[in-house]
Amino acid sequence: MIGCYSDTSTELRVDVLMKYDYDPIPLDYPHALESEEMLARAQDYVDLISRRRSVRHFSEKPVPREVIEACLQAAGSAPSGANHQPWHFVCVSDSDIKRKIRVAAEEEEQAFYSGRAGDQWLDDLHGLGTDAQKPFLETAPWLIAIFAERYGFDDSGEKQKNYYVPESVGIATGLLINALHTIGLATLTHTPNPMKFLSKILGRPANERPMMLLVVGHPAPDAKVPRAATVKKPLEQISSFFE
């Protein structure tokens, strides 16, 4: 397994990759619940998470960096291929950088909406009411650019293979969205296409691929969401059981 710890005088901090031999330790989990309590809690959780929306109208109200950091710790706890944790989250509240990102994203979106997408794709987006204008990239207090590490480096600087990268980064992003929603913040998973401009603006290395831009903040008091996006497939359609 790969772990990464370095001792500082005050705390154990993660920054150097080290290999571990197999060393099983006891599972530290909350105690098991009775079925009824389990179901009640699952239903409460459904109530909470099914109210998440992709929000495009943000308030300018600031969100403390510490809040973002705590949610990133939740994201960083995600399972990943060989526990290589092939993700990097670049958090931007700097207005100049946000403006640069908006300008570059809108340039790509302009090309997308005026032909690159094709009629079918534009038709599929019709109910969402999206267009090439992305003012939320400047209004929202935080943009989190999520990068997938296509390969990493071990402590001697050798290229290190990563595994199940999109799956791992997708799970970590899901946990991040969940954490942010749980504390009442709104998010938008924004995917301007192509996203190479993010690597350039944010100075990320060639082994990282930009995956997504997560827009984060308080929703605007008069925020609206497209009705079409609230319609979710019923359980019968998204699941099957063999019992």
Residues found near ligand IYR in the complex (CB under 6 A): 109, 112, 125, 128, 130, 190-193
Closer by beta carbon to ligand IYR, 80 or else 213 = 213
Kindly state the smallest distance separating residue 14's Cβ from ligand IYR, in Å.
34
Taking the C-alpha atoms of 102, 103, 109 and 111 in order, what is their torsion angle to the nearest 10 degrees?
A: -170
Kindly state the smallest distance separating residue 144's Cβ from ligand IYR, in Å.
16
Give the CB-nearest residue to ligand IYR.
Answer: 130
3-state SS assignment for residue 210: strand
Kindly state the smallest distance separating residue 161's Cβ from ligand IYR, in Å.
30
Q: Spell 168-199 as b/e; 16+ CB within 10 A means b.
A: bbbbbbebbbbbbbeeebbbbebebeebebbb
- Given a contact cutoff of 8 angstroms between Cβ atoms, the answer to whether 75 and 173 are in contact is yes
Distances, alpha carbon 60 to alpha carbons 136, 180, 236, in Å: 9, 16, 40
Closer by beta carbon to ligand IYR, 97 or else 111 = 111
Angle between helices 165-182 and 65-75 (to 10 degrees): 140
- DSSP letter for 50, please: T
Kindly state the smallest distance separating residue 113's Cβ from ligand IYR, in Å.
7
Closer by beta carbon to ligand IYR, 68 or else 213 = 213
Please, how many CA atoms are within 13 Å of residue 122, restricted to the half-sphere of its CB?
13
Kindly state the smallest distance separating residue 117's Cβ from ligand IYR, in Å.
7
Closer by beta carbon to ligand IYR, 89 or else 112 = 112
Closer by beta carbon to ligand IYR, 97 or else 125 = 125
Nearest to 184 by CA among 56, 71, 73, 72: 71
Kindly state the smallest distance separating residue 111's Cβ from ligand IYR, in Å.
11
Task: Give the C-alpha separation, 136 to 14, whole Å.
Answer: 34
Closer by beta carbon to ligand IYR, 20 or else 121 = 121
Distances, alpha carbon 149 to alpha carbons 13, 157, 208, in Å: 21, 15, 4
